[in-house]
Amino acid sequence: MATSSTFSSTSSISTFLRRNGVVHLGATHVKRLQLKQRLVSTCRSTRSSTVSARASIGEVVVVSDGVVEKGIEEGRALRVGLICGGPSAERGISLNSARSVLDHLQGDDLHVSCYYIDCNLNAHAISSAQVYSNTPADFDFKLESLAQSFPTLADLAEHLAASVDIVFPVIHGRFGEDGGIQELLEKYNVPFVGTGSSECSQAFDKYKASLELRKYGFVTVPSFLVQGYETNKSELSEWFRKHQLDPDVGKVVVKPTRGGSSIGVTVAYGVNDSIVKANEIMSEGIDDKVLIEIFLEGGSEFTAIVLDVGSSSDSCPVALLPTEVELQFLGANDLKENDAIFNYRRKYLPTQQVAYHTPPRFPLDVIENIRKGASVLFKRLCLQDFARIDGWFLPDSGCKLSSSESEFGRLVVWNKQVFCFSKLLRSIVHHACLRFPNLASVSGISGLIPSRSKSSEINKSFAPREGARKVFVIFGGDTSERQVSLMSGTNVWLNLLGFDDLEVTPCLLSSTNDYASSVNMGIKAEDVWNRTVWSLPYSLVLRHTTEEVLDACIEAIEPNRAALTSHLRNKVMNDLMEGLKDQNWFTGFDIADELPKKFSLRQWITLAKEVKATVFIAVHGGIGEDGTLQYLLDAEGVPYTGPGTLASNICMDKVATSVAVKHLTSSGVLTINKEVWTKDDLSNKPINDIWHDLTQKLQCETLCVKPAKDGCSTGVARLRCSNDLAIYIKALEEHLLRIPPNSLSKAHGMIEMPNPPPELLIFEPFIETDEIIVSSNVKNETGHGFIWKGNSRWVEITVGVIGKRGSMHSLSGTGINLTPPPLSIMSEKALQRCKQHIELIANTLQLEGFSRIDAFVNVDSGEVLIIEVNTVPGMTPSTVLVHQALAEQPPLYPHQFFRTLLDLASERAM
């Protein structure tokens, strides 16, 4: 396993520094660790804040070493400028970073202003609502009408110097990690969080960083630098032989010297293949300098957070508990890649192909050496405020070494520690302020948590407390959507967590292999009643997968593992306390050692009834969406979010949904013809006969196949020929977890498959829509950056609906990932008709609370061709529901939106 030495993340909070190299830590048994630095960045979930009222902005004079400087008035809110975007392909990840920082910093004592640098290095001031755009295309599309632009970067810097106290950069890749934004801020004397420009520049170039580390005595990974297309083949061949690599088939990693850790990173075999891969990186414009490195195998990857808890003049870096990163495959049904690297998918998307272990499964002396080595590296490289150090633990000291990256921003690293994320971020901002005398008066900010992000002490007591409503947020389950469910539930939990009148408890519905729907079984539900639910403490929630959450629960109550974790955690706390004891801003740790609690589903629902809790359902698919969980909660009189039992059961079945709205054809609501086949019938009949039968009955040339009773994405594929159908059926028969990219007759991405395979499959005509190209380099007559020919007159949309049963309200629909669909594509009149049709569908199906309706819409008539209804839609940080809520007048920020859904649940007629 080997990857790039540069990185950015969907869950990140800060600009990263790129560091390559190997540190040799002198244990008696000589373990080798490769360490690489970057600024830490995180968040899998977001919680927007309303813009807090800004306190009076008075200024005071500070005299320091004979220099008169402007300071800020005691008690005034600290003004933080959050800068995201950038020219690299990683700007979408940067948007996620910005959401995280905004959500966890904003408060009465700290005001965040947002700024965006586009791909052409144009600067814009943006609203906090804009940060929640789900894609860079959606974001860029709105810049022209919603953002305030600056003529030059110098104008931006001058504005920042006058309008903010300190800048928090979260630009990934070029201009953010190469020292560009830092140099600009330094030139205009704008304080900022993180490491300075020269150190960033040194680190961003992986080759230069490697040379620099050698000066400090660190062992670095063997690499070969390629500059330009005329690579000296004989020199590269000699490099292969020097490092015991076969020039014909020796495995290496090829990556940009000054690029991201995912984009352009690939594996090559032998000299010729290496040259081809290097030339591809250069021809695609990713970088004109490429590194070829040894592919590291046989080691265990780790990552560790380092915090500087020293004073402004004396650095005191402390490494938190490291996390072990494990690439894994799920037996014969999974796709095992011989050249598996920690790629974009594994870093940014919830997948069981990666597992994280905190603390790592290393010997105690190795864990301590990692912590010590990371702290030493932090000082040697002159880093500031915080960093993330990654590396390899190689039990075999004779192994070759190579660089590595892991997914950035796994909150598990911190949450096994002693800070909640809000306080951690605020501590980092405070530490950065210490370097600037004029910010010395803001010493109170980092010890406080925003009023909406207080971490309630969960699991201490379930006894009702006056003025606090109990809320149980449940996620997880059995289906292939359980990882997205974890992201949804975590996001809801974080958004509701800070309301002072709520006590919010996150809960995991464990997976089981003997799942059966009580709705389909009739009244009998004993098997479902015995399902396991875990009530989770803060420290166990923010994980990569539901499996990791469950493993963490089991470890937490396993005596030996719990004792080990407690021992290591205390060492970290002692190190932190040693550095923080003289810091007057430090107010103590805010994450207590709490244990998860295990219930049967019956016990959990009984508890919810006893404490008068409202259940926020975030379980996608399975019993969370087919009416089973709703039925059980109804039986005990426990209020819950979303539609009731009957509506949930109908909408889970795509055929039943079509039947229920079939009579609305004359009202402008159309349905797609469907053919339903069992998995067994598909396996037992000749492929060509099935294909002929389907295309004749549905009168189409290409088909869309999907599970009859599963989510909106897994198992969905376009089939263009009988061979495509054969490949799909084989995947079902072999219980494959995914169909590899480009397996079908036309290029496509990875197709996630339901697990276990569905018994019923739906076939539909594939609805052709016109391609829409969104680009900042394209302008049409309206000035917007997209091209759409509009021949078919149909576009795909997804629309959120919200309200009480019988009076559901349609939010602004999202088309082509733009919210709302552009008026140049769809007129306001057609859009209003579309919304009326969506509301008609919602009320006909007796939806309530909230749901999401996916459909095709005719841009001229507003007629709607319904695809499916999701009664437990995605509630992740970048979900379209959030964007549509923000498009309302006035905008509903995420915390307000989820609170509204909760209140609707509490008010529902039982």
For 357-412, what is each residue's pLDDT tens digit?
888 889 999 899 889 888 988 888 888 998 888 777 877 644 444 333 322 222 22
**What's the pLDDT score for residue 124?**
92
CATH number of domain containing 796: 3.30.470
Distances (CA, A) of 808 to 844, 850, 852: 10, 8, 11
Q: Torsion angle of alpha carbons 340, 342, 348, 352, nearest 10°?
A: 50
Residues 167 and 231 reside in one and the same domain = no
Report the distance separating Cα 531 and Cα 513, nearest Å: 11
Q: Contact, 96 vs 877, CB < 8 A?
A: yes
Residues 6+ apart with CB under 8 A from 287: 256, 257, 258, 259, 264, 281
- Which residue, 765, 799, 828, sits at the end of a domain? 765
Distances (CA, A) of 109 to 75, 442, 445, 674: 8, 9, 7, 57
Residues 6+ apart with CB under 8 A from 135: 92, 817, 878
CA nearest 837: which of 856, 811, 863, 819?
A: 863
CA nearest 267: which of 245, 282, 251?
A: 251
Q: Contact, 5 vs 265, CB < 8 A?
A: no
The owner of tokens 């014969």 is 332
Residue 454: inside a domain? no
Residues 6+ apart with CB under 8 A from 494: 45, 46, 47, 103
Report the distance separating Cα 47 and Cα 450, nearest Å: 12
CA nearest 311: which of 579, 17, 645?
A: 579
**What's the pLDDT score for residue 135?**
64
Residues 601 and 504 reside in one and the same domain = yes
Residue 429: inside a domain? no
Residues 273 and 360 reside in one and the same domain = no
Residue 451: inside a domain? no
Q: Contact, 458 vs 594, CB < 8 A?
A: yes
Q: Kindly state the helix (H) or strand (E) to which residue 242 belongs, with its residue range.
A: helix 233-242
Q: Kindly state the helix (H) or strand (E) to which residue 804 belongs, with its residue range.
A: strand 794-804
Residues 504 and 484 reside in one and the same domain = yes
Give the β-pairing of 469-476 and 502-509.
Answer: parallel
Residue 267: inside a domain? yes
Q: Contact, 892 vs 900, CB < 8 A?
A: yes
Query: Measured in whole angstroms, how far is the alpha carbon of residue 570 from the centre of its chain?
Result: 30
For 104-118, letters b (16+ CB in 10 Å) and e give: bbbbebbbbbbbbbb
The DSSP letter of residue 56 is P
Rg of the chain on CA atoms, in Å: 27
Domain count, the chain: 6
Residue 188 phi, psi dihedral angles, 5° rounding: -105, 15
Question: What are the tokens at 498?
Answer: 């800070």
Report the distance separating Cα 531 and Cα 527, nearest Å: 7
Residue 450: inside a domain? no
CA nearest 128: which of 104, 166, 99, 108?
A: 99
Question: What are the tokens at 523?
Answer: 């009244």
Residue 184: inside a domain? yes
Coil, strand or helix at 799: strand
CATH number of domain containing 249: 3.30.1490.20
CA nearest 902: which of 603, 510, 618, 537?
A: 618
Question: What are the tokens at 612?
Answer: 């008068």
Which residue positions in the chain have pLDDT lower than 70? 1-75, 133-138, 141, 144-145, 218-219, 259-262, 328-353, 396-420, 440-467, 513-526, 584-585, 587-593, 710-713, 770-788, 790, 813-820, 909-910
Q: How many CB atoms lie within 10 A of CB 509?
A: 27
Residues 473 and 592 reside in one and the same domain = yes
Coil, strand or helix at 399: coil
Domain assignment of residue 125, given as a range: 78-195
Coil, strand or helix at 84: strand
- Which residue, 180, 195, 210, sits at the end of a domain? 195
pLDDT in tens, 400-450: 443 333 222 222 224 334 456 777 888 889 889 988 888 866 544 544 444
pTM of the model: 0.79
Residues 106 and 248 reside in one and the same domain = no
**What's the pLDDT score for residue 250?**
94
Residues 6+ apart with CB under 8 A from 805: 644, 843, 846, 847, 848, 908
Q: Contact, 208 vs 22, CB < 8 A?
A: no
Report the distance separating Cα 259 and Cα 257, nearest Å: 6
Residues 477 and 593 reside in one and the same domain = yes
Residue 846: inside a domain? yes
Query: Measured in whole angstroms, how far is the alpha carbon of residue 883 from the centre of its chain?
Result: 16
Residues 634 and 490 reside in one and the same domain = yes
Question: What are the tokens at 380?
Answer: 């040697």
Residues 504 and 614 reside in one and the same domain = yes
Residues 602 and 506 reside in one and the same domain = yes
Amino acid at residue number 719: L
Residues 752 and 806 reside in one and the same domain = no
CATH number of domain containing 164: 3.40.50.20
Please tell me whether the peptide bond between 322 and the residue prior to it is cis, using omega within 30 degrees of 0: no
- Which residue, 736, 765, 794, sits at the end of a domain? 765
Residue 651: inside a domain? no
Residues 229 and 321 reside in one and the same domain = no
